[in-house]
Chain A
C-alpha cells in the first residue's frame, strides 16, 4: 500500500531556531498520532503537512502531489488547526455552510445536516458561536472540517479544552471516521490520549522524529527507561544500605536533605519490593515519589536512545 502522506527530509527553521529537523515518515490510512511535548515542533510539522507553512528543506506530498501552493488538494483534505478562534458572530450552521460552499460541496444542505448531526450539535446549530462552550466550538469546527467529506484529516490537538465526556465523544467520532477508511493525523502532548486512539505513533522531540511505530513498541521503550524515585523515611541511611540489594534497584544515594534517591529500571517491581523491605526493616516510609515522570523527561530519554 502506498503512503497517503509522505514527509521526506523536512526541516523548518525560523532565523537561527530550528523548529523541525530532517524529519522523514509516511502516513498510511488509519489514525496516526503525532506525540510530543509542548514546543516539540508538532504544530510546525502539521502546518507543513497541510501546506499552510513552507518547509525550509525537504518535501511533503499527499496522494503523490506537493501540498504547498496546491489548493486543488484541499478537496481531499480537512484540517482543524489548534487555534480555537471562530467567527463568533456566525451561527454554527452558517459557519459549516460557508466552509462547505468554499469547498465546493454539491448538495450543501444535506452535507451540512450530516456534518452537524455527526458531531451531535443539531440543537445548537442556530446559535451564534460565541455562545458555545469550548467543547462545542471544537465539535462545530470538526463538523466544518468534515463537511466536504475529506479522505484525509489533519487535526492539531483536537481534544484540547474538551471535558472528559466530550473527550469520550470526540474519540468515538474519530474512531468511526478511521473505520470508514480515512487517513487521520492528530497531534497531542498527552501519551494516554494517543495510546487510546492511534494505530501508529510518531514521537517528536526537539523538532526531531524520536521514534515511530506501533504504540506497544513505544511503550516497551518507555518501560525500559530508568526512573529516579525519591523516598522520605525515618532512617534514610539504613534504607539506602538495604534497598541497594534489591534486584529492581540500579543505584542509590542519599541527598543532603535526607531523601533517598533510588534509580530503577523496573519501577513495577520496586513498587512491590520497597514497602516490603521497609516493613521487614521497621523503617517508616513517609513519602515515595517519582522525580522525572514528566512527559518531557520521558521524551528526552527516548531521544537519547
Chain B
C-alpha cells in the first residue's frame, strides 16, 4: 500500500494545484475577518450559515477535494499508467485505499488550516468551537474524497460532474429540500459540528449527531467499496 500511497502523493502535488488550493483555503478566513470587522457583525447563526456551512463545508472543502480526488485515478486512466498498478498481484482495495488516503493527506491540511483559522478568528479563540469546526471540516474532506475518488474512476468528466454536484446538490437542493439533507455531506459535517459543541452551536434540526456519524461511515465506506468494485470490473486502458 505504501508504494501506491507515495506514488499518488507525488502525482497530485503539482505546484498549480497547490497554489489554487491555498487561495481557496484562504477565502473563508479572509471573508470571516471582513465580516467581523464590519460594524454590523453577524450572529453565530448567521456566521454558521454563511461561512461554515455554505462556504467552508458546502463550497471550499468540496472544491479543494474535487481538484485532487478526481485526478487520483483520473490522471492515471488518462495517461494510461493505471495498468502498472492493476497488474500487480495485490487485492484491489490495496490500490483504492492508498489513493483515497493520499487524497485526504493532501487536502486535509488546507481545509483544516482554513477551518481552524476561520473559527479561531470568529469565536475569539474558543478552543471547543474551533475543534468542532476543524474536526467536522476534516470529516467532510474524508467523505468528499471518498465520493470524488470513485467519481474519477467511473467518469472522464469527473470535474464537471463534481462541480454540478457541488453547486446543485450540496449548494442548492440541500438548502431547502429537507430530505436531501439526509444525503448531503455538507449537512453531515454541520451536524457533527453541532454535536461536538452544542454549547456554541444550536442543535441541528435536521440530523442528530449519531445519525450523522452513522451516515458519514456509510458514505465513506460505501464509496470506497464502489471504487474497489469498479477496479475489479473495469476495463483498464
Contact = CB atoms under 8 A, between A and B. Distances in A.
Interface in B182-237: 232-233, 235-237
Interface residues of A, number: 27
Given A72-B89, A103-B88, A104-B89, A85 B235 contact: no
Given A69-B232, A71-B92, A89-B10, A52 B80 contact: no
Given A73-B89, A89-B10, A102-B90, A79 B83 contact: yes
Given A87-B7, A87-B81, A53 B89 contact: no
Given A85-B81, A89-B10, A98-B7, A50 B87 contact: yes
* Size category of the binding interface on chain B: 20 to 34
B235 A81 contact: no
A83 B80 CA distance: 7
Contacts of A90: 10
Contacts of B178: none
Interface string A98-111: 11011110000000
Interface in A52-101: 52-54, 69, 71-75, 77, 79, 81, 83, 85-87, 89-90, 98-99, 101
A52 B235 contact: yes
Contacts of B80: 81, 83, 85
A248 to B, nearest CB: 49
A63 B233 CA distance: 22
Contacts of B87: 50, 52, 74, 77, 79
Contacts of B84: 99, 102, 144
Nearest to A54: B235
A87 B80 CA distance: 10
B79 interface: yes
A43 to B, nearest CB: 10
Contacts of A114: none
A5 B88 CA distance: 19
21 contacts: A47-B236, A52-B87, A52-B236, A69-B233, A71-B92, A72-B89, A73-B89, A81-B80, A81-B83, A83-B80, A83-B83, A85-B79, A87-B10, A87-B81, A99-B88, A102-B88, A103-B88, A103-B89, A104-B89, A104-B90, A144-B84
Given A54-B235, A99-B88, 10 more contacts: A47-B235, A52-B87, A53-B236, A71-B89, A71-B92, A83-B237, A85-B81, A86-B81, A99-B84, A103-B89
